[in-house]
Amino acid sequence: MSLRPRTALTSISSLSTLGLLAGAALPVQAEEPVHYVALGDSFSAGTGTRAKVDDCYRSPHGYPALLADAHGLQLDYQACSSADTEDVHRDQLDALSPATDYVTMTIGGNDLGYAGVITQCALPGWLSNCEGRINDALELLHSQMPQRYDVLFAEIGVRAPAADVVIGTYPHLFSGRNCNLATFFTAAEMRALNGATDQLADVIADRTQAAGFRYVDARPAFQGHAVCDSPEWVNGLSWPIQESYHPNRDGNIGYADIFWPGTSGSTTTRTTTDTGTASTDQTSASRAQQVRAQADAVLAMDLTGSANLRQARSAGVPTGELVRLVAQLRSGDVATVEKALAGLAALNERHAIRAGR
């Protein structure tokens, strides 16, 4: 069993060099199956692949399953959707032992309230506090997350002293275009969310290397494959809603290559992608059903409720136009509903311009 010791990589500062060495760090052949423990959150559980197995998700199309299948690893799949650092420490680390050879993990997004931030920023600008939620997350990132990572990584090192431990970052979600008409991300909000991902990546890299583990960065591989890109590796707004803003099947193949370069060359990882996005997924439902689902998502925001109308009025939003467009979302005509969704998106953009966002 020839795994590269963690300490041998701590002095390497070049990410490109680290990426070249990543494949060599893992055994190609071994007398006994490599004991592989996949820790982490929804990005490691395979959420977004439309193949939910249980409450933790643990998809057969998640990158840990792809790695195990491609390289003959003995997988203990512990990663769980919605997990944060405390959850990993409490619920997942018992799978580790001195016999563990290989560990992968993505973690930290849920500590920062990932789902809540995305949900807040997806609202129309006059109802959301996107900037405030991002700033709250960043304050927590810099004040608390370094210690949370240190505590978690130290425990992993104690429980699996011989393991090659690889910690991954998160990709940028956006490339500047929002093609999902049921969400209201502005260009500035998308840049801010990507910027927060960059700051989180910096902290992950710093604490991972301080622990003597290996660090891999998802952002370069996902460049050109964000929400609304072609092809996209990250779902936009999707149904079921849990699938939203997570890597799809192609994205998990990309993640497998990030953790173990060359994995995508295996025929066992080549699958037909089902992205499940509101803009491109025409296999799980008809176009009319997709448009109806988008309209229902916007109607659930209760944009014309009395409190929300007052907020819109105080923000300078023309409430007459808002009420008219929301009413059209209830139409049985697909074209009318699509036009109303586009009109609401335009209304949000005009508000963002006036507000200087």
- From the list 35, 71, 225, 246, the catalytic residue is 246
| Residue 139: exposure state from Cβ atoms within 10 A (0-12, 13-18, ≥19) | exposed
| Residue 143: exposure state from Cβ atoms within 10 A (0-12, 13-18, ≥19) | exposed
Is 35 an active-site residue? no
| Residue 335: exposure state from Cβ atoms within 10 A (0-12, 13-18, ≥19) | exposed
Is 246 an active-site residue? yes
The secondary structure of 239-288 as a DSSP string is SSGGGTTSB-HHHHHHHHHHHSTTGGGSGGG-------BTTT--SSS-HH
CA 312 to chain centre: 31
Distance set, CA 94 to CA 103, 176, 228, 235 (Å): 13, 41, 39, 32
Q: What is the three-class DSSP state of 345?
A: helix
**DSSP 8-state symbol, 36:** E
- From the list 35, 42, 128, 172, the catalytic residue is 42
Q: What is the three-class DSSP state of 15?
A: helix
Read off the tokens for 293: 């689902």
Beta bridge partners of 277: 238
Question: Which residues belong to the active site?
Answer: 42, 246
